[in-house]
Structure 1
């Protein structure tokens, strides 16, 4: 994905406010061997890009003055109530050094799992993203969580995930829970009542 930016000479609150009024968003690029560079980006293009999941976990081609740098989106600030991006931070990446990044989880096959199919259970997503480490070339857009074999009372943990080649989950020593399957309380009561009725 490509992002076009412009070098920003003026800094400070007033300069940033004028930038936003003119339809641009202030930002910064840092990391690597070069000094940090303050930049300005087209607000509308950035706002729409931020709605795309891939923009948050892909290596981006950031073009400044005709030169392209490989970067990752590291942070961004939104206005408290307006649809306004206040600032964006990008980090330069080295193709030979691993990156640490949060990647979205895509849950699949819940409808065919024993929990849902046989017991009418609900599968709750405890986490929607996990932190991973990999070389930039191996960075996945998302990680699939296959729920095919999940039964009632079972949970899916980070250790259960099939990670793409070259990708390691960063768990800080905790085997985090990703999803759980449980039968809604009302459903259990209804089943118990039906069983009682059948005995009569």
Structure 2
């Protein structure tokens, strides 16, 4: 799983006017909660925070959040990012603290590798599920799961049960559900 370092400082100002001043000064308000601890109000420098967001956009990622005044970084995940609907600027961020030693379920994208031989013979590749639910320790969960589709002929399919996972991971998705298949196209069926 991707890991990113982000720095923050504690925030003691609240309310609309204070948040507006904070944003104008180049900072983004945020909150940290979870793991049985009290909610903590934070602020982050917007420019470095945006760069970090581009690295982890739409991915499972562990954020090592260094808070000024704390000795050890907190391991968190992005829970929500609020943006302005007009100019797409950052309004607020929510971080959720997690325990790296406790298993958790994650949705992991499936990467389909190769070209199915059935598509070369006139079939259509139909992707039913492009992600899989996996449970495991956060640092053991992969960024993507690769599935080789090169041997798929017309009429062949791959279910979740065919996806190989390491022993320290558990599949949460229904093992009988279809991931991908090659079907006969209407044009190919009409030609026969």
Q: What's the TM-score once normalised by structure 2's chain length?
A: 0.78
1:21 corresponding residue in structure 2? 24
Provide Cα deviations, 1:87-113, integer angstroms capped at 9, x if missing partner.
32222222321122222222212x2x2
* RMSD, matched Cα: 2.8
2:97 corresponding residue in structure 1? 92
Bigger drift between 121-130 and 160-169 goes to: 121-130
For 2:62 and 2:44, locate their aligned partners in 1 and report how far apart those are by CA, in whole Å.
Answer: 17
Is 1:52 the equivalent of 2:48?
no
For 2:181 and 2:167, locate their aligned partners in 1 and report how far apart those are by CA, in whole Å.
Answer: 26
Is 1:75 the equivalent of 2:80?
yes
1:188 corresponding residue in structure 2? 188
For 2:37 and 2:55, locate their aligned partners in 1 and report how far apart those are by CA, in whole Å.
Answer: 29
Following superposition, the deviation at residue 74 of structure 1 comes to 2.5
Asked if 2 retains the 8 angstrom alpha-carbon contact of 1:125 and 1:180, the reply is yes
Which aligned pairs between 1:120-135 and structure 2 lie closer than 5 A?
A: 120-135=122-137
For 1:146 and 1:57, locate their aligned partners in 2 and report how far apart those are by CA, in whole Å.
Answer: 22
Specify the SS of the correspondent of 2:73: strand
Compared CA separation, residues 176 and 91, structure 1 to 2 (3 A): farther
Structure (1 or 2) with the greater strand fraction: 2
Gaps (5+ residues) in structure 1?
A: 196-200
Aligned residues: 187
Q: Which of 147, 150, 160 in structure 1 is aligned with 2:149?
A: 147
1:198 corresponding residue in structure 2? none
Gaps (5+ residues) in structure 2?
A: none
